[in-house]
Amino acid sequence: MTDLPPAALLDEMTRLRARTRADRHAYVPPLLLFGVLVLLAPLWAEGGPPRFGLAGVWFGTPLQLYWLAVVVGGFLATAAWYLYRGHRSGVRTPIRGYLAIGLVGVLGVSLGLPVVESFAYRVARSPYAQPSFTVPVATVALLAGAGILALRTRLDGRGARGAATAATMVCGFVVLAMLDLALAPARPYAPLLTIALGLLGLAWLERSRVLGVVSGLFAASALLVNLYNVQHVFFHLGLFARYEGEATMAFTNTLPPGLVLLAGGAFAAWHERRPRA
């Protein structure tokens, strides 16, 4: 039996719970990894034509293959790191939801972007690519997915939880499809939003405010470069001409989200190393 009063015992349990949650945090390496991978994307921006076609859809441009490798490799590397860290510390964050987001992102990068880019001219003129269609559909799918995900925690059977997970993934794919329709004809940066969704999901699983803030800033920067050509800012600063090729455009548009991840990873590393009470 302990001699601590109930209030002090409750405070001690709260501190222990917070310390346990902090001990399982392992998000610094994924932030730094994705930051480096995002900044390397311009190297593949002018790599040549697609490698193969199927039913009029051309797949396999170097940049498409690179984004596919980034999403697949980044998500798998993060999962492997969490498993390794959990084995060492004895406390592991559940990452099945994170991997589900990665699977949806792989489908989006593998299918959505090549289809949209292959028919960019026709897609841009289609009423289904207009904000009056894509925004409402994406909003409904996002809200439906969030509602199903919240309901999943109250379900008992494995079959019901599996069906809820599948329905949530379908909603996520619809959201990414709408983003592809709206953004890909102009700029090939929709995979950044997949990475952002994964980091936001990881922040929720980690219950980490630091990761949540970094992921939110990264998501905002990813959305910015998909909606606006950041090269115009560099042009007005006198750093680049208005257009100097695909590589320069890719560099100027991937630099802000990449730097957000690197700076966020550095801050998170400092935050995690602070002495805890």
pLDDT reported for residue 53? 65
Q: Among 180-189, 202-211, 260-269, which range has the highest average pLDDT? A: 260-269
pLDDT for the residue 1: 47
Instruction: Please report whether residue 141 resides in a domain.
Output: no
Q: What tokens appear for 115 in the block?
A: 């289809």
Count CB-CB contacts under 10 A for residue 25: 19
Give the pLDDT score at 140: 94
Flag whether 256 is in a domain: no
pLDDT tens sequence across 10-51: 554 455 454 545 555 688 999 999 999 999 998 888 766 666
What local confidence, expressed as pLDDT, does residue 49 receive?
A: 67
Q: What is the DSSP secondary-structure string of the chain? A: ---S-HHHHHHHHHHHHHHHHHHT---HHHHHHHHHHHHHGGGGTTS-S-SEEETTEEE--HHHHHHHHHHHHHHHHHHHHHHHHHHHHS-----HHHHHHHHHHHHIIIIIHHHHHHTHHHHHHSGGGSHHHHHHHHHHHHHHHHHHHHHHTT--SHHHHHHHHHHHHHHHHHHHHHHHHHHTTT-S-HHHHHHHHHHHHHHHHHT-HHHHHHHHHHHHHHHHHHHS-THHHHHHTTSS-S---HHHHHHHHHHHHHHHHHHHHHHHHHHHHS---
pLDDT tens digits for 226-262? 888 787 777 777 766 666 677 788 888 899 999 999 9
Asked if the structure places residue 106 within a domain, the reply is yes
Does 93 fall in a domain? yes
In whole angstroms, give the CA distance from residue 265 to residue 275: 18
Classify residue 116: in a domain, yes or no: yes
Domain residues for the domain of 82 are 27-125+190-249
Q: pLDDT tens, 139-172?
A: 999 899 889 888 877 887 778 888 888 888 888 8
pLDDT at residue number 6: 59
pTM of the model: 0.79
**pLDDT > 70? residue 3:** no
Distant-in-sequence, close-in-space partners of 174: CB < 8 Å, separation ≥ 6: 137, 138, 141
Say yes or no to pLDDT of 124 above 90: no
Q: Is 272 part of any domain? A: no
Whether 154 is in a domain gets the answer no
Residue among 38, 24, 18, 37 nearest 81 (CA): 24
Residue 79 included in any domain: yes
Provide the number of structural domains found in the chain.
1
Tell me which amino acid residue 270 is. W
Q: What's the confidence (pLDDT) of residue 16?
A: 46
Phi, psi angles (nearest 5°) of residue 226: -85, -25
pLDDT of residue 277: 47
CB distance 49 to 4 below 8 Å = no
